[in-house]
Chain A
């Protein structure tokens, strides 16, 4: 007797479960076997990375190692071809878009400082402060003393209090970097992804930025991508070196910078 394949019971749920097992972890951010290719180029290749709650981690690596792409994947800008990206124990980030991920509590500072140039410094921060983000919520929102108190606090932390009424577009490069870090803080995320915070800064500014990040790391989990080894030394945290889309070496800065392969591809002899 012939069996019509359409009549057969196919347990679709079970198949899906095999494909995508529910991963539950203790870590804040858990990347496992993540790969993504652009036009055949493997930007991220079987990358695995675990960030514990409250941890601060520095990511180093040569250009094209996949540092920014990794951040794109975590924040939902890029969807990985394979692999798991789990946030806060059980939330599958690969299924969510940028907005949803931002609202879960992942904030991001871009490599090139990106602030809203035709808004004032204080308005930039005000928009970032945690509050109702729906259209009608913002349309009918009234002046909130609570929000502005938070804005004052943040402007104090990032030392832009004197510039609060200037247009963000008129700030210097370093000030824009700080404003963006301030906006990140205003979002009060669980995890901050900070891409090259010290780029284009003077030594004094770099030192101040390191202090600021260390301060932030007391209450938040932070992932910092940076090229400046002096800056990373000042942070004094666990370091991960990426190369060709996967982890090359991981550990203390001394251990990583002593690693033969890291010297080969990144630090140079």
Chain B
């Protein structure tokens, strides 16, 4: 079953407290822009890991590719 951008958005926002996600994609390749207070103080690698961790082994499998851009909430305020 292929994934949808809506599913990814819902799961990211449910898993990362206070986050907002914008997700686009074709069912296999996705782009996610995620803003969350939890990113504050983390380097980019750790921020992206938080997002990848939402999907575990689905990344590379059911979710073929997930491009991520992260912002801390304060950067966008």
Judge: A and B partners, yes or no.
no
